[in-house]
Amino acid sequence: MYAASKETFRGYLKKEKDQMFNVLVSRLEGNLTRLANDAGGMLEYNLLSLARKIDASLRVLWEVPGTQSPSFNDSEKKDLIRIMEQVLACIRLQKEKFEARNVD
């Protein structure tokens, strides 16, 4: 009797293992995707906060109170802005690549 039950259980597992595995993998992928999206959102939020702090700090350097002449010239400002835009573009590109990999 025990051998028959054991054989029935093994047969059931053999038949259903692919389905069980696929369901587990699908749930795991879903959870990992949600976790990655949450982490990406937090990173973007914190980067925006950091960018605002940098902007406020640099604004103090760029504009000298009581004068019309900034301490940074326009080309230096443009270079710094270009670098910041490149960093943000790289972050967006990495986010898009990650999302594209996890669509499948």
**Phi then psi dihedrals of residue 4, to 5 deg:** -65, -40
Q: What are the structure tokens assigned to 81, written together?
A: 């802005």
What Rg, from alpha-carbon coordinates, does the chain have?
Answer: 27
Give pLDDT, residue 7. 81
Using a cut of 0.75, tell me whether the model's pTM lies above it: no
Residue found under tokens 């993998």: 25
Give pLDDT, residue 70. 55
User: By three-state DSSP, how is residue 72 classified?
Assistant: coil
Write the CB contacts of 33 (distance below 8 Å, at least 6 apart in sequence). 102
Give pLDDT, residue 42. 85
The residues of the chain scoring below 50 in pLDDT are: none
Give pLDDT, residue 74. 72
Q: C-alpha distances in angstroms, 16 versus 22, 23, 34, 74?
A: 10, 11, 27, 68
Q: Note whether 47 and 91 are within 8 A (CB).
A: yes
Domain boundaries, the chain: 2-101
Q: Cα dihedral sign for 50, 54, 59, 65?
A: positive
